[in-house]
Every structure is written in structure tokens, then in C-alpha cells.
Structure 1
């Protein structure tokens, strides 16, 4: 009888649940074989055999301990330790019982066959990590002696340098990863290849991609030959690239393989005929349907018959939302619009889905995507929306513009009711925008907006008075449901005129004066910008701290939970504490990625602000931040006067320019107010939610208050009502694991419902060789050392350094005072970083793809904020 304690298990006794016993590859082959797919026969030497084998070594435990503490970037140590372990294992004897079971299984399949011997680790071919190619494979192995020798070599290959590094990087404990060995009858193919049941490049789930060549598939896997490429969609071959296949690997009759040059007439032949391609696709679709996920499948063709020798999930695909592939829909990353592309926890997602119309958002990979497909079937929306998106992220705008022009998208019939319902909501807002732009006094806008903000905040607080439990959460849900439209009507209607005025001014200045250079000066020190004022107050805190050396020393090691109690115990601590608490009273609800309610606020983790304050002290002189702001306001006044002087001879032009400047300056300062109010109100609700979470901890329902982040608002309401029908502890644990995986995903800007990630490269124009190209959003040219900052709470900027970041939102503002220039991977003309950079008068280039990888700390670079170009002058240390 075969059990999990068996040293050998045949394919027909395995399925996908067998992973702990035979690893990912073995489990998948067993599943395929049991389901009736054409899999060459064979068996697996189990992980139990591997564990018994290494147990004969007295030093393996200490060697594995050494691996668990190794730095994966220390390549010399990694190489040295890996080589030692491999040598040690290849010299260990295989225990007699294990050897006998392997030989008996081999004989039962057939001693005259050649065999493929493959490693199959328990941390391999998983839904979230493929570990492809980390262990070794041996082909065309014949005879008992060679069979056993290569089994031992497979065991040792668990410790190749690449496998050790991959496990360390992905957080796998080396003690807990075991190896099975797949021993499979060798197919001697005329043709072999790899089939992806979803396009591995674009991510499109409806496109099957096939690489095929002559001989063994090892030639393709190893990169020895360029294979033919075939792509199929809807059972139609949509692409054929026939490669020049100069070489092929063939099996030798006495074992082993040989690489041969193909005859010239065969090098350009189709590896697969059309009929074969479509038959293979049909087989691939069945395998994908069986596993319920896109597959990476290795196949062979022997005497005209297809054989499957491996199938594993494609782990590189970005997850899809739960919507049909068809009709084609276009999804825009909300995170890229908000400059917050990290994965979000369920509570944060559910709050945003409550604030915004539920039909607009879909979730995928722990991120939210905006689905405006129904509206994009309107011609006017297709024209306007990509243009509006250039303010948020130009790369997103380019991709959207490309998708909505595709014939398959244009062929879909528009939903008139969707457009009509939006028109009903938007029409009154547009009317108010027009009145504010054309008729009303812009000087009064700030007072009106701030009065509304005070009233809305008071309403948010009063609505929760006297409530607790499920009723409290239901009221929060109700208030959030009405918040966005309220903010649009009462704040955004004052902000939009400044954007319109900016665009009109730019065009008219070019037409009237020949250039728009004065516009960049008009952008400086806009009156009333709540986020710019926050940055100035960071500078004030830095100026206070300059005179308090003991406080400086304390803050270098301060902890959040004792921040204030420790502060008052050092000389000058009370003085700094008073100023700091005043700042927190006004801005403590902010933080990086603040749109996600679950991210820690500055009031909760005040040490987040310390690096920015120290950076300011190092790079900005006392009072310089206030002086620069005053000088910026003066430059803006002078620029306005300069424009008016040029136009004084034309009454019409003068009047129009005067109005546009006035609207631009006074409304532009309100650019951050709507976001500020949303964050203030979200934080009020967060505090209420966390008070309920503490009660759930006290009653033993949750282990810690932050576990509430892994429940949605609806789930939390049901939990408080006592009708939650799930194991809360298990649900939270599962979601924590999923969130950890989602954090490693890179979300696309634009994705279709078919899974295609749409990227339209920027036109490089006449940019210098080797330069990086982005979108110019704040004028000026500077040179300086690059400082790569991935998270602002860990950031230190020195004088003259250029901030290079994935993105910025208001939580990054404290660093802007210290930066000489700004470069981001995400962004557009009106995103936070662009607006603040223009106000501070520092050059900025956004939308620079992979800037944080291509630019290194210490690189001397030139940032051209006029043309959107970043040049390398001197590279820093590697």
C-alpha cells in the first residue's frame, strides 16, 4: 500500500494535493495523468526519501541554519556555501531501502527506456511563485547506475546558487523546502516547445502563445535557439514569427544529448503546421480549464502525437478582477491617479468603494481600478478623458487613448442609460464651474471653500455622537456614501476653473507673447494651498530644532509609543513638543499613501516626520523656506504685471488675461483642499472604527486592533451585529498572507478585462543618447546628486540632492523643501508633486519609467524640467 511515507509514488497515484510529497512539478504531472491528458509514464521519488537521505548527514542541519541567515546579496558567501552543500550531498550514499524502491519502480516502467529526471521542489510551480529553472533537469538518462547518480544530483541541485538566492528573496525557510525527483519516460521528439495559455508579455488571457522548435525543448529553455512564435486568439492564428532555427538538441541512442546544426533548408521551416497549432491550443485550453488558471505548458511531438511533460501556473500575470473578458472593458489604476500604488488592505478598499460609486471601481491584486468603459463609448468622453488624464499621468493617458480607438472597443454598443445618469450628475457641476470661472470673484473662493470644510467636518463628527457598535459603522458607511458628490459640488467646482485658466493662459501666452515662460512664475507660491503651508510649517519645526541639540539627539532614536513622554525629559523638549503638537493638530491625519485609511497617520507614528525635519535642517538655511515662498509670491506678481504690460494696448486681451490670472492664482491655491477634507474626515471615521476594534480585542474576537484592517466595512458591521458566519481568526490570517503576496505585485496603469496590460511608449524625440524621458511639469534645469527614496518615512536628503521617487502624494511634501529637483515614475501636470514643485520653483520631471531602478544613489544627473529629460553626467558607486 502506498502512503505519504513511501519513497516512490507513481503518477497515477498523485494529484494536485500531493504537493508536500512530490513537489509542484510532480503534483501537476500526477494531476494531468489522472485526468487523462497525454503524459509520458513515470514516478516520483518523494520528499520523504529526500528527508531520509539528508538525515544520514550529521552536518546538514547546521548548513541549513547557515543558509537561513545568509544575505542573498552576498554572492561570494552564497556561492561558497552552496558549492559546499552540493559537494557534500553528491558524496552521500543513498540509503539501501530508497535505492531498492527507485530501482523497482524504474524496472516496472521499463528498463529499456530513456528517462528525463527532473527536480520537483515543494516551493515550486506554486500559484504565487513558480521557482522555474531553480533546480536541475537531466535528459535521456539510461541504465540503473546513471539513474541513481542523477537522482542524487537532483537532490543536490536544491542548493544551486540561483535556488538559494530565490528562496531567500521570497522568504522561504531552507529547512522547510524539500525536493522530490520526477522520473519520466523520455519522449524522443521531432518537435518540442512551450505553450502559455495566456500571453506572458501582455497578460491577455484570451491569447495563447506558443514557442516551438525542432528536437528537444531544452534548446528553447536554455536560449540556445530562437523558436517559432505562434499566437492564437478565438481559435484564429493571429501571429506567426518563423525563426531561423540553426541548431537543435537531439537524444543519443546510448544516452545523453547532442547539439546539431540543422540543414539550411530546414532552418526556416515551420516547426508546427496550422492544424497542429490549433490542436495544441485546444489541448492547452482543456488543461487550463482543468487547473482553473492560465498555464505554462511544456509539450513534445513524437511521431505526430502530442505529449505534455510539464504544466505549471503562470505566476507573472497580474490578477484579474472578477468580471467577464467580454465585452472588452478598460480599467485605469486608481493608485496611479492618487500617487499611491501599494497594495491596500480590505478595509481601506471598502472605504474607497463606499466613497466612490461602487460601479466605477473593480478590485484586482489588492488595488482598485476605475472602470469607465460604458462612458467611453461616448465619442466626446473618448476625446476628453485622455486629455484630462494627462494632468494625472501622461503614460495612462497614452494607453487609454490607444485602447478606445481599437475596432473591437468601438464595435460595442454604448449604454445610453449610463451616459444619461452621469450627465444628470455632472451637468450641475459643470454649470457651477462655469460660473466660478466666468462670473464670480475668485478672491472669495477660499473663504467659501473653507467655511464649507468646517461645516462638513463638524457634520462628520456630530453624526457619530452617541453611536456605537454596528449603528456607528452603518452611520459611517452612510456618511461616506454621500461624501464624494458633496465635495465635488462644494470644492472641486472652485478648483476646476484654475486648471481651465492654466491651459488657456498657456495657449494664449504662446500666441500673444511667443512663449509661456511667465506661466511657470505665476505657479509659484499660490495663496492658500493647504499642502504647501504644511511644508512651510515643517521648515518652521526644523528652525526650532536647530537650537535644541539635546532634542536632536533624542529624536534620532525616538520611538512612537514613547515619543512625547521621552521628549519632555530632555532640555528644550517642551518647546519642541508644543510646536510639534500644533503641527499634528492640523496635519496629523496625513501620511504617505493617505488615501488608504489603514496606513499609519503621523498622529499615530510621529517618527515618520523626523527624517524630513532633519533633511530640511541639512539642506535649507534658517528661514530660507519662508523667504523663498515670499520671493515666489513676488515673482508671481511681477510675472502677472509683465503679462499685463505686454497686452496693455489691447483692451480685450488685457481684460481676458487679467481674469485668467486672477482665476488661476486664487483658485489654484485650493488645488489640495478637497483631498485634505477627505483625509480629515476619513481619519475621524478611522478613530471611530479603531475604538470598536479595541472592544473586539477586549472580547477576544480579534487578536489586535489592526486586524480590523483585513475586514470590509460590511463584514465589520455583520461582526458587530453578531451574524458573521466565518472564522474571523482564519479569515484575517489568510488575508494577511494574501496581502503580503499582493505587496510584491506591480500594478499596471491601464489593463483590459482580458488581462492585457496596455503600454504605449513615449516618443523620445531628440533626447540625448542614454537619457531618460518623462513629462516636464515644473520648469528649470539643475544638476545634482540623485537620492533614491522609496518611502518618505525612511528618507534623508542632503543639500543639493535630487529626489527620485516612485510617486509622491501630500505625505511626501515635507521632503520638497529639501530637494533640488524631483523625478517620479508616476505623475502628470496636475498631480501633487508637480503642483508643489512649481510652487517651490524646483524643476520636476514625472512619468519616467523605472526611474528608481535606472538611476542609482549618488549619480550626478541633469534634470531638464523644460523638456522632460534626465541626463546622466557621472554615475555613482554601484
Structure 2
């Protein structure tokens, strides 16, 4: 908001849950930043606002407090810390507040709901992973009225210079006398019970335990030690109670209310005097699991129960685990950032070692070739080769982007600051890295001086040429691709000797995959053109809805990606009007349907099915996972989709989002600006259309690879190197090559495959975090445990409104269908953790689409826009919080998903999907 102080206009924005992450990180302090993160993640947090560090800085500067504090903290202040603290408090209590700062305090009080509030200090370093500052700053409960709030805000500011705070800083070598604190205002809840939940035992350090302490009423009694708390130790995996300490409640709550303080397993008798019921403990266990998983490190959570609702008041890292902690020392070494955004569309859930190693090898070859295509050579190319083999990571059977390397890749092209932002949007990355971290990432060591400038100019000129000629380059590539593809497709590899199949596989890598590199200029073209379009939208259409840029850039309705969905709809329509065919499809197992059509003499329809398989059989579920047969190898999945499509599309009018974008532009942008906008828009739409065509090529190439590798599995099993042909997928690409090149003994392969199959079975039981950081060797030093890899399903928090990225506008109410596989939902709202291109066949029956992991540029999102299906992507915890049968309201323009009603317990179907 804009506030006036004297003749100067200043912006002293009060920070709230809708404030930008970067501003919160800079000005909200530790408590404020944690509240922002908790609220954004969908946890139930009482209304709050933050009077930021910039407000204190304004107050300090305008009142002359800066100079007086500087004098106080001159040489030798440590010898009289008590006097300095008292004088600082007096100065802050009496300094002129100023109209602007007073207005900011009033606005913060309104944002927190007015009435009864807590006023809490929020230091810049507070509640961090390194320093907790626990108990060093002041907090005040049950404050009412603006005058009282203002007085207590001053007292919080003064607590930054209290004697205890000064001593704390001195002991840890931290500077004193500057900065101040932010102040959190938070609505008070009428707590019936409250307390603290540690998601790791703070005494023993055991991460397989949770510790709950609780009291009746407000939690200050627990913190101050005025009341003996009940303390319950829970098993972190399943929430069962391990032991309990029953606090002596007689002094405050009446004789006989407690049962002493002995530690013992909980009995029915104990439960009668615990302040928490088994249901309360279950909810707290779920909350702790979810919060720890969100932050990736053990948490100290303040909570309260009021009117039956569980509230999160605050969360901070557990900074002082005991000496016997599982991970006593923080991991050291190079930081790596892992994220499964977007990549999960191609490689979902558990992925075989062969699929991962083939994908990693392909990415390495393609992006090294891309660097060469931009003129990178010599020592710089050698440096590029150091990181291109590691663009992907593999953890417990899941594939992740090694995100820092993708920033390096984007920096090969010009306009890095713009392109990296668009990269994050296109990948669906939920959180940007800092500008400082981004600036430190380079594809190779920058050359200094004139030589470096010349190198950058040459690379920019080469990129500009490729940018301007990308359509012509794409046409040449498609012509050459299909000419080469014809050599590999349609070959009966089962009839060839294994070494001949392997030789052809190596040739495919050379002729198809290694020539893909220059085509990555298309991705750079998309980043640049969509980034420019977004920039023009912000500047010339500042009030445009968030979905607008994606609709304006979307390919036209004839986008190639939608062809399989349209063809399947047409096939289902033909079956629907033929009673015999329809009855056969509805009553025959999917794996027997193809033969049943043949046996039943339905040759016309069978011919249509075979034509579909010939044209689109490579476009199937999990089409890039080599271990999953496509429809040409096994048409069972096609008949599953066809049967689901028989009822027909949802009763929903088709939408034209490109038309909506045109209408908005006609109303708000004209003249030269419109012409410039349309020029950039055409470039973005053309690039996205070409990308969909390129994805079809990629899918076809992977289809040929599937046939080759399955034939190699047959050959290795026939030679006795493997027990079963499908065991080939448990090997890595280099091991298969080694078997044919003489660098790996074939006698090693059987046991290796068996071991990996057992490991993947165990890995499937883990809940995988979508994003995490490691240091040093990723599997060592507790990296993955601290990152939130846990066993069992993720816990629900009970959030009623979730937020994501608007993708396609429209408001829909309907019943949720949570699934991990595409299927007809009969006008329901399809909720998925991730999608892949094979999901487009399920879209016609969906009233709306919610995707937890994805971006506005994922394949299904592009097609959903063209089909007019309201869509929200990047909805954190959608498959955790939403149950099949829940009634939802989806607003595709605002990016909100509201749970209107939960399914009745007897009616709720088990969710067939969820997190990997």
C-alpha cells in the first residue's frame, strides 16, 4: 500500500500470505517467513500479517534512532550490555513513530483480523537451521486494540537489543546493534489444548520418533514451565504410541486430574487422563509428517486445538538434536538441487534402471550436441561434458532434474535472466533459486576481457541465426528424421541375432538421437519468445489474468498432440453406434478384446483399431518408460481407454481459449503495440507447435528403442545371462553394451538384475519429496532422510483451499476422481499427481483438471487448453488432500481448488492414485 510521510511517498507494504516470496524472505524475519511457507503449503494457520524489517528501518531512520543506536554500540559496549539494552529500549519506546509507520501498524492489525491478537518478534536470523534465537525476543499474547498493539510492537522492536539477545549474539559471533526485528501479528485462537510437536526426538536425536507435549489452554504455560505437560512419544512411521509422560495437573486443573510423571506404555487407564485423545494424536502425527516432509528437516511445531480444529501456530527447524542423533553432522560438500517438476510427466513413479540410464545418456548426447551447435568448442566444450551426463538424478527408483545443471544449460543462450525465469515456469518449478545462486552458475568458466566478449558475441550471433531460421531447420529435421526412422521402424528385431540388434541400436543412437542437439534451439526459442510475450503482457496488459499469457501462446486447435485423442473419440463413437461391438468391448477383458473382435467377425471395426495402432500405437501410457509396452506390442491399454470412452464426452461446451485471448487483446491493445505483440505471439505459438511435433518424433524414437531392447532381453535370456527377458530392464545401458562389447561378464547380470528388482520393490513403498537438496555424496550423511524420504503415504492436513498455477480459465463444481492412470470420469474433476501424453484420451470426459506436478507447458495442459477444460497445475499436495468423491470448486482463472464437501465415509472410494 502507498503511505505518505511528509512530502515523500513511501511503500511500506504489510506482508501477508499473498506477498511475493522474495519480499517475505527479505523482510519478514524467521517467524514471518515460516508462516508464509506454512500458509502457502495449505496448512491451517490463524490469520496473520508481518510488519517488516523495512518498516522498522523507516521508523529508525526517520526518528533519528539510527544515529543514537550507533552511538550506543560503539567501542566497549559489551562491558555494559545491561545499560545499553535498557537505554535502547527507552529510545525505541519514545521515538516518534511517523504517520507512515503508524499506518503500517494499523494495516497489519486489520490484516490479522483485529480483535485479540498475538504480537511476536520475528528476527532476521530467527528460527533458522543454524540459529533458533529461541526465547531471545519478546512475544505477547491476548493483545487487543490499536494502541496496545502499537505499544507491544515497540516492545518487540526493543527486544532485538535486550541484554539476553545481545549475549546470545556475542556467544555466536553475530553482529549486534543493527537490523532490528520484524513483528508478526496473529489472530488468537481460543485454544482448548495446545503444545509443541517435535518430528524428531530432541533428546535422543532419533528420527523414527515424534514427541508431543500438550497442556490444557494456551501453550505459554508449557513454555514457561508453570504446568506439567503431558508428553507422548509416537512412532514416526505409523503414529502408534510408544510411551507417555502424564503431567501432574492437580495444581491447576484440580486434584485427581493427573497421574504423576512416570514414563510407561499407554494403557486405557492412562488415556482417560491424557489431555489428548487417540484421535488428536493421530491428527498431530499426520501434521508432523506433513510439515517435516514439506521442509525436509525435523521440525519443532507449535499447535493448538480450538473448536475441534487443529491449528499450526508456528514451525521451526529442530536445531539441537542430541549427541546420538542419526545425522548429528550436517552433510558437507557441493550443493545439488533435485526437482521432479516436468520430468515426472515423462518418467513417473518407479522407473527401471535401463530407462533411467538410457534417458541420462540421451540427455547427455543431445545437450552436448546443442552446445556444439551454438559454437562451443575446445576447453569450454570439455567443461560442458563434465555436467551434461548428470542432468538427471536417480533416487530410490525415481528420476529427478539436477536443477543447477539446467540453469547452466539455459545460460548457453543469450538473455539468461529472462530465460531462467521462463524455464522455471515451463518446468513447473515451485520455487526459484536466489539471484545470487543463479548468477554463480555457468556452463563453463567465463573467459575474461576481450576474448570473453568475442566468445559471447559469436555464440549470440549463432543463436540469433538459429532463432530466426528455426522453422526451416525444423522442416529439414522432420524430413531427415522420418527418412532415418523408416530404416529402424517395422523391423522384426525378434528374428535378428542379438549382436545385429545391438549394432542397429548403436546406429539409431547415432543417426536419430545424436542429431537431436541442434533442435534444442527450439526449447531456447520457446523460452525466449514466451518470456518476451510474458514481459510485454506485464508491461502493456498489467491487469491481464494470470492464465492469459499461456492462452495467447497456445498452439491452435489443430495441434498435432491432440490427434490421438480425437482419433480415439472417433473410434469410440463408431463403437457406440454398433450394439454388437459396444457389447463386446464392455463385456470382454481388455487383454482379450483384440482377438474377440477377430473371432466375432467385426473386421471393419478391427481394421479401424489396427489403423489407430499403426498411426498412434507408440503414444501410450508411460510411453517413455522402456519397460512399459506400447499399444503396438500390447494393445490391452488401448481397449481400456476405448471402453472408458464409450459413454461419450462430458456434457461441456468446447472452449476456444485462443479466441478468448484474441477478444481480450481486441479490447485492451491496439495500434503499434498490438502489431509488436502479435509478432512475438506468432513466434511463441509456432515454437510451441513445433515442440509438439518434435515430441511425437521423440516418442517414435523411443518406440523403436523399446522393440530393440526387448529383443536384446530375449537374446540375453536365451544365452542364460538372464532368467527372463524382462530382466533386461533391471540393467543399465552401459551394462548391456558391456555384455556385447566384452567389458562386462555375462555371468554378473543375473544376480545384478535380481538384486535391483528387490531394491525397486522396497523403493516403491517410500514417499518421495518433489524437491530436495543434498550436499556431497547424495546417498550419504543422511541427505535423503533429512530431505523427507519416508515410508508410507503422505498425511493429510485437512486444508480446504489449495492454490496452483492457473492454466485454463473456467469455474466448475463437481466430484473429484483421484487417479494415477487416465480413465473416463463421466463429467467429474480429474485429479492426478502427474500426467503423461497418454492422458489426453481421458480429457474429453473431464469437467476440469487438477495436476499436482506439472507446468502450463506440459503436454496435457496444452491439449486441455485447446479443448477448453478448466485446468490448474502445480497444486501442492492435491492428491494428498483431496479424496475421490469430494465435491470441489475449481477456478481455472484464479488457480484455486476449494474442497466444498468431503465424501461420506461409507461412500468414499479408495483413491486409486496418489504420490509416487
Question: TM-score range with shorter-chain normalisation?
Answer: 0.5 to 0.7
Q: Please, which runs of 5 or more residues in structure 2 have no aligned partner?
A: 1-197, 216-222, 233-242, 252-296, 299-321, 365-388, 776-782, 789-797, 906-916
The Cα of 1:359 is off from its aligned counterpart by 3.2
For the 8 Å contact 1:529–1:670, the answer to whether it is kept is: no
Any idea what the Cα deviations from partners look like across 1:125-180, whole Å, max 9, x if unmatched?
A: xxxxxxxxxxxxxxxxxxxxxxxxxxxxxxxxxxxxxxxxxxxxxxxxxxxxxxxx
Any idea what the Cα deviations from partners look like across 1:260-310, whole Å, max 9, x if unmatched?
A: 54999xxxxxxxxxxxxxxxxxxxxxxxxxxxxxx99xxxxxxxxxxxx99
Residue in 2 aligned with 1:685?
A: 705
Q: 1:362/1:243 Cα in 2 relative to 1: closer, same or farther (>3 Å)?
A: farther
Any idea what the Cα deviations from partners look like across 1:617-671, whole Å, max 9, x if unmatched?
A: 32428xx99x94xx74xx7468548746875543xx2432332233233333223
The Cα of 1:364 is off from its aligned counterpart by 1.9
The Cα of 1:566 is off from its aligned counterpart by 1.8
- Among 642, 650, 662, the residue aligned to 2:682: 662
Residue in 2 aligned with 1:387?
A: 421
- Among 350, 362, 367, the residue aligned to 2:357: 350
Q: 1:662/1:814 Cα in 2 relative to 1: closer, same or farther (>3 Å)?
A: same
The Cα of 1:460 is off from its aligned counterpart by 4.9
The Cα of 1:702 is off from its aligned counterpart by 2.8
Residue in 1 aligned with 2:816?
A: 786
Residue in 1 aligned with 2:638?
A: 609
User: C-alpha distance in 2, partners of 1:509/1:248?
Assistant: 56
User: C-alpha distance in 2, partners of 1:601/1:262?
Assistant: 66
For the 8 Å contact 2:554–2:862, the answer to whether it is kept is: no
The Cα of 1:474 is off from its aligned counterpart by 5.4
Name the SS for the 1:752 alignment partner. Answer: strand
- Among 801, 826, 829, the residue aligned to 1:771: 801
* TM-score normalized with structure 2 length: 0.54
- Among 745, 759, 766, the residue aligned to 2:766: 745
Any idea what the Cα deviations from partners look like across 1:584-626, whole Å, max 9, x if unmatched?
A: 11221222222221122122332213343344332428xx99x
- Among 836, 848, 851, the residue aligned to 1:821: 848
Whether 1:728 aligns to 2:749 is yes
The Cα of 1:859 is off from its aligned counterpart by 1.9
Whether 1:714 aligns to 2:734 is yes
Any idea what the Cα deviations from partners look like across 1:748-781, whole Å, max 9, x if unmatched?
A: 333222327779xxxxxxxx98311111111222
Whether 1:591 aligns to 2:620 is yes
User: C-alpha distance in 2, partners of 1:676/1:427?
Assistant: 34
Residue in 1 aligned with 2:485?
A: 457
User: C-alpha distance in 2, partners of 1:312/1:770?
Assistant: 36
Q: 1:636/1:329 Cα in 2 relative to 1: closer, same or farther (>3 Å)?
A: closer
Q: 1:247/1:771 Cα in 2 relative to 1: closer, same or farther (>3 Å)?
A: closer
Residue in 2 aligned with 1:847?
A: 874
Residue in 1 aligned with 2:148?
A: none
Matches within 5 A, 1:257-272: 259=246, 261=248
Residue in 2 aligned with 1:361?
A: 392
For the 8 Å contact 1:588–1:603, the answer to whether it is kept is: yes
Whether 1:327 aligns to 2:356 is no
Residue in 2 aligned with 1:556?
A: 586
The Cα of 1:681 is off from its aligned counterpart by 0.9
Matches within 5 A, 1:13-52: none
The Cα of 1:810 is off from its aligned counterpart by 0.2
Whether 1:212 aligns to 2:203 is yes
Q: 1:335/1:367 Cα in 2 relative to 1: closer, same or farther (>3 Å)?
A: farther
The Cα of 1:345 is off from its aligned counterpart by 0.9
Of residues 861-870 and 676-685 in structure 1, the stretch that sits farther from structure 2 once superposed is 676-685
The Cα of 1:803 is off from its aligned counterpart by 0.8
Residue in 1 aligned with 2:228?
A: 246
User: C-alpha distance in 2, partners of 1:426/1:544?
Assistant: 58
- Among 580, 602, 605, the residue aligned to 1:576: 605
* TM-score normalized with structure 1 length: 0.56
Q: 1:530/1:325 Cα in 2 relative to 1: closer, same or farther (>3 Å)?
A: farther
- Among 409, 433, 439, the residue aligned to 1:401: 433
For the 8 Å contact 1:803–1:821, the answer to whether it is kept is: yes
Name the SS for the 2:729 alignment partner. Answer: helix
The Cα of 1:556 is off from its aligned counterpart by 3.3
Residue in 1 aligned with 2:518?
A: 489
Name the SS for the 2:713 alignment partner. Answer: helix
The Cα of 1:869 is off from its aligned counterpart by 0.2
Q: 1:345/1:695 Cα in 2 relative to 1: closer, same or farther (>3 Å)?
A: same
Q: 1:591/1:513 Cα in 2 relative to 1: closer, same or farther (>3 Å)?
A: same
User: C-alpha distance in 2, partners of 1:659/1:419?
Assistant: 35
Residue in 1 aligned with 2:118?
A: none
The Cα of 1:495 is off from its aligned counterpart by 5.6
Name the SS for the 1:709 alignment partner. Answer: helix
User: C-alpha distance in 2, partners of 1:326/1:784?
Assistant: 49
Q: 1:648/1:865 Cα in 2 relative to 1: closer, same or farther (>3 Å)?
A: closer
For the 8 Å contact 2:806–2:872, the answer to whether it is kept is: yes
Matches within 5 A, 1:519-534: 522=552, 526=556, 528-534=558-564
Matches within 5 A, 1:397-476: 397-398=430-431, 400-401=432-433, 405=436, 416-417=444-445, 434-435=464-465, 439=468, 447-448=475-476, 450-458=478-486, 460=488, 468-470=497-499, 472-473=501-502, 476=505
For the 8 Å contact 1:826–1:847, the answer to whether it is kept is: yes
Any idea what the Cα deviations from partners look like across 1:650-705, whole Å, max 9, x if unmatched?
A: 3xx24323322332333332232222212211221221221232233334433322
For the 8 Å contact 1:567–1:577, the answer to whether it is kept is: yes
Q: 1:458/1:705 Cα in 2 relative to 1: closer, same or farther (>3 Å)?
A: same
Of residues 725-734 and 807-816 in structure 1, the stretch that sits farther from structure 2 once superposed is 725-734
Name the SS for the 1:329 alignment partner. Answer: strand
Q: 1:674/1:746 Cα in 2 relative to 1: closer, same or farther (>3 Å)?
A: farther
Name the SS for the 1:618 alignment partner. Answer: coil
For the 8 Å contact 2:584–2:593, the answer to whether it is kept is: no
Of residues 750-759 and 818-827 in structure 1, the stretch that sits farther from structure 2 once superposed is 750-759
The Cα of 1:848 is off from its aligned counterpart by 1.2
Name the SS for the 2:772 alignment partner. Answer: strand
Of residues 460-469 and 675-684 in structure 1, the stretch that sits farther from structure 2 once superposed is 460-469
For the 8 Å contact 1:331–1:751, the answer to whether it is kept is: yes
The Cα of 1:496 is off from its aligned counterpart by 4.7
The Cα of 1:709 is off from its aligned counterpart by 0.9
Name the SS for the 2:556 alignment partner. Answer: coil
Q: 1:353/1:414 Cα in 2 relative to 1: closer, same or farther (>3 Å)?
A: closer
Name the SS for the 1:672 alignment partner. Answer: helix
The Cα of 1:735 is off from its aligned counterpart by 1.3
Any idea what the Cα deviations from partners look like across 1:314-355, whole Å, max 9, x if unmatched?
A: 9xx9xxxxxx94022223337645453311111111111210
Q: 1:247/1:488 Cα in 2 relative to 1: closer, same or farther (>3 Å)?
A: same
For the 8 Å contact 1:386–1:397, the answer to whether it is kept is: no
Q: 1:637/1:725 Cα in 2 relative to 1: closer, same or farther (>3 Å)?
A: closer
Q: 1:332/1:546 Cα in 2 relative to 1: closer, same or farther (>3 Å)?
A: same
Any idea what the Cα deviations from partners look like across 1:706-740, whole Å, max 9, x if unmatched?
A: 11111122222333456515443332222111111
The Cα of 1:560 is off from its aligned counterpart by 6.0
User: C-alpha distance in 2, partners of 1:478/1:432?
Assistant: 29
